[in-house]
Every structure is written in structure tokens, then in C-alpha cells.
Homo-oligomer: A and B are copies of this chain.
């Protein structure tokens, strides 16, 4: 009549991690050939910290792909970049980033300001404003200080360098409230036309803390490669990578107006030509995913007020989309996040969040145009978790096994100790199929609340 579960000692796959097999990443700003970069303090931030970043191609435009925020309040830099890529068919000669003012919700005047930034960059570089892509981050509703940007660009352009230090400086200047500079790099061996293997470089820089959520919230990233690939190939690589990495990242459920990822290929190693559907394209995609995944993990770990990275890996789902939905539901749960902060192996909250992975979306389906009845019915029919098959492991401890009575006995003191770590891994095996997915978040802390209730408009 008591709730004591049976003791059960097992060693199942749900207790050991199964991340995707991707190339190893080093966290250095190793600049790919064909790019110059730098950062500067232009005075946009009142703190005087670096706030202007520039990455330019050394020899003509680079092929470019992008993913942007879907927020209806997409900021001026997003709108401007979309226009540039649409007009060029996916080519660009520079990426400029201003940090401290988001240039969001600034109306037509903001759009004019952003176009003017492009003209200033284009004039400094002699490439014209229509070859310039834009990033911006900071406070919503304030205008860009164009004189400061102009003076900063004039100082920065002569300092641009085809060096790791230049790219590192650009990464530093992307930052807002980030406590770390986020860089990741891989070498990818590609076969050239003669069958010889050429190593190309894929390196990304990123910023992002707070407001990070699926669909690119207040996060900026630029990934560079010296491979040679068309804009179409880059687009076919970037979108699924973003779905598996940045769209599986959430710090607090909010999504920003400015989120942008650019992928640029300089073609500086012309022998390393990546064509659609080739093994080279697959290899390059793995390299881009390795960089994106590592940057997303760095961003989650640096979430506002966070003290640990919270990773959820889901196996055995009906398909990958299901697995990702469950993983996302768990790392987005405020109760799970607070339990992670308290080092509490609270499987009940995890089970509860998993049980809601889809059904909580009836409201969403309704909002998307379905009638209440249909949305409820549809949501009710697509639950992704079967409580009688689900297994849950927290930091390697099997805590729930639906096929064996549910709650499992485990060493609570040991689990608490294992949760006191820089990364907490929650694993679920749904036992329904072969789908895999992961998601990245962080714990919810008093510091998060403090920072965000005291932050001035």
C-alpha cells in the first residue's frame, strides 16, 4: 500500500548517451581562407565594449545562405538582409554587425538607417551597399547611431585581417550580455575532382543569451567556409542543420526579432567544389552541423542566469520530429529547469513535460485556424509518449520504466551528486521507433529573474 517502487538494477541504453556522430570541434576562431574580419568599439554600447563587427570576402562575393527569425516584428537588419539575398540570388561580400541597438520596431526610419549602414560599409570596401548582409542586436525600439557607426567603420576597415585574431575580434564584438565569446571550428576532408582529399575549414562565431528559443531567438551566428559551393547547396545544408540545432535550443521560451544565421562559402579553395547530392555535400553538412551544434550548446550553457547546460536526448521515437518535440518540451519546462537548478532528480516533472509534448499544442492548432473541437481532437490523437513504454534516465540513473511498474528505485544521493555538474543529461527512450532528437537548455535560476526584472527598457 506504500508508494515504494521495486528495486531494479539495469544497464540499459537509456542511461548512456547517443549523440549524433559528427566531426570533432575545437573552440578556436580558425578563419577559413578567403575572409578578413575584425571588431571595434564604435560607441554604440554605452559600456565602451566592442560593438561593431565586420567580416568581408577577400576576393569577390561569397555564396551565402541564411535563416532568419519568423517573428512578425522582424527587425530592420533582417528585412535588409532578406532583400540583399533575394536581389543577388544568394551572394554577398560582407557581413556587418552592430551590437547595443537592435534596430527593431523602428519602422521605416529604421529600415532607412539599416540601408545607410550597408552603403557606408559598401563605400568603405568599394563593393556597394547591395553586397552587404546585416546583423544587429540590443535594445528594441532605439535607432542606430549612424555617425558612430560611420566613424567606427572607417577605423575598422583598415584593421581587418585574414587571421584567427581578426575573426576572434569579430566574435567578441557580436556579444551583448554574453559572458563568453562563442566560436567553433572543424576541418572537413573533401575529395576534389581528381579524387585527392582537400581539407576545408568550417568556422562559426555566435552570440546569444536569454530569449533563446526554437526558431532563432536573439541569437546571431555566422558560419564561414573556404569550400566552393553554390547558394543552393548552402541553403540545402543550412536549413536542416538549423532545425536540428538552433531550433532545439531554448533558454526561456521567447523568440527575438533579430535572430539570424548566415553561412558563407568563399570558394578560396576552388578545387574543393561541393555539388548537390555529392558525398562532399554530406561531409560539408556534417561539418556545418558540428559547428552549429557546438555553438548552440555554448549558447544554452550561457543562458541568462544559467549555472548548467541542460541536455535532453530522446531515442525510440516514431520519427525524428517526434523525438525533437519531446526533447524540446522537456528542456523548455520551467519546472524541469528549476529542478535542474535544485539538483533534484524529479522524474515526475520530466514525465509530465513529455506527456505534453504535443497535446499542449491544441491551443496552437486552434490558433493556426482549426476549430477548437478539431484542434482538441487532433491534439489528443497525436500524443508521442506511451507511459507504459517510456523509460527515463537522469544523469545516467534509470528513474522511470513504464514497462516495469513505472517509478524505479535509484540512489538519490548519488543522483543528486551527479546532477551537480556543468551539464545535466536527461535521456528518454520512447520504445516506439527509431527516431532520435536532442535539445539544449539551461537551468532556471533566481539570477535569471533578477536580471530580467531589473533590466531597463
**Contact between A367 and B358 (Cβ–Cβ < 8 Å)?**
yes
Interface centre among A71, A74, A347, A443 (most CB of B within 10 A): A71
A353 to B335, CA, bound (A): 21
List the B side residues contacting A357 at CB < 8 Å. 72, 367
List the B side residues contacting A25 at CB < 8 Å. none
A141-B348, A143-B1, A356-B71 known; A105 and B407 CB under 8 Å? Answer: yes
List the B side residues contacting A345 at CB < 8 Å. 457
Contact of A341 among B74, B364, B449 (CB under 8 A): B449
**Contact between B372 and A240 (Cβ–Cβ < 8 Å)?**
yes
Kindly identify, within residues 390 to 429 of chain A, every residue whose CB is under 8 Å from any CB belonging to chain B: 400, 402, 405-407, 412
**Contact between A362 and B454 (Cβ–Cβ < 8 Å)?**
no
Pick out which of these stretches binds chain B: A13-21, A157-165, A289-297, A326-334.
Answer: A326-334
A109 to B445, CA, bound (A): 37
A141-B3, A256-B352 known; A105 and B70 CB under 8 Å? Answer: no
List the B side residues contacting A342 at CB < 8 Å. 452-455
A215 to B402, CA, bound (A): 24
**Contact between A335 and B70 (Cβ–Cβ < 8 Å)?**
no
A239 to B35, CA, bound (A): 60
Looking across the interface, which residue of chain B has its beta carbon closest to that of A400?
Answer: B105
A110 to B345, CA, bound (A): 22
Pick out which of these stretches binds chain B: A58-66, A127-135, A177-185, A374-382.
Answer: A374-382
List the B side residues contacting A252 at CB < 8 Å. 334-335
**Contact between A344 and B457 (Cβ–Cβ < 8 Å)?**
yes
The verdict on A254 contacting chain B, using a C-beta distance below 8 Å, is yes
**Contact between A255 and B356 (Cβ–Cβ < 8 Å)?**
yes
- Taking the full assembly, how many copies of this chain does it contain? 2
A1-B146, A400-B105 known; A385 and B72 CB under 8 Å? Answer: yes
The verdict on A139 contacting chain B, using a C-beta distance below 8 Å, is yes
List the B side residues contacting A139 at CB < 8 Å. 348
**Contact between A338 and B213 (Cβ–Cβ < 8 Å)?**
no
**Contact between A253 and B253 (Cβ–Cβ < 8 Å)?**
yes
Interface centre among A70, A362, A365 (most CB of B within 10 A): A70
List the B side residues contacting A191 at CB < 8 Å. none
**Contact between B372 and A367 (Cβ–Cβ < 8 Å)?**
no
**Contact between A359 and B449 (Cβ–Cβ < 8 Å)?**
no
The verdict on A309 contacting chain B, using a C-beta distance below 8 Å, is no
The verdict on A214 contacting chain B, using a C-beta distance below 8 Å, is yes
**Contact between A457 and B348 (Cβ–Cβ < 8 Å)?**
yes
**Contact between B333 and A254 (Cβ–Cβ < 8 Å)?**
yes
**Contact between A366 and B321 (Cβ–Cβ < 8 Å)?**
yes
Contact of A359 among B71, B140, B147 (CB under 8 A): B71
**Contact between A362 and B105 (Cβ–Cβ < 8 Å)?**
no
List the B side residues contacting A412 at CB < 8 Å. 457
A352 to B365, CA, bound (A): 21
Residues of A in contact with B (beta carbons under 8 Å apart): 1-3, 5, 70-74, 101, 104-107, 109, 139-143, 145-147, 210-211, 213-215, 239-240, 243, 247, 252-257, 321-322, 324-325, 328, 332-335, 338-339, 341-342, 344-349, 351-369, 372-373, 376, 378-380, 382-388, 400, 402, 405-407, 412, 443-446, 448-450, 452-457
Q: Which 10 A-B pairs have the closest CB atoms?
A: A140-B348, A342-B453, A325-B367, A338-B452, A3-B142, A73-B355, A70-B359, A72-B355, A72-B383, A252-B334
11 contacts between A and B (CB under 8 A): A71-B352, A73-B351, A107-B405, A140-B352, A215-B360, A215-B363, A254-B335, A322-B367, A342-B455, A361-B368, A445-B449
- List 6 additional A-B contacts (Cβ < 8 Å) besides A70-B383, A71-B360, A257-B352: A215-B359, A243-B366, A254-B349, A341-B449, A341-B453, A344-B456
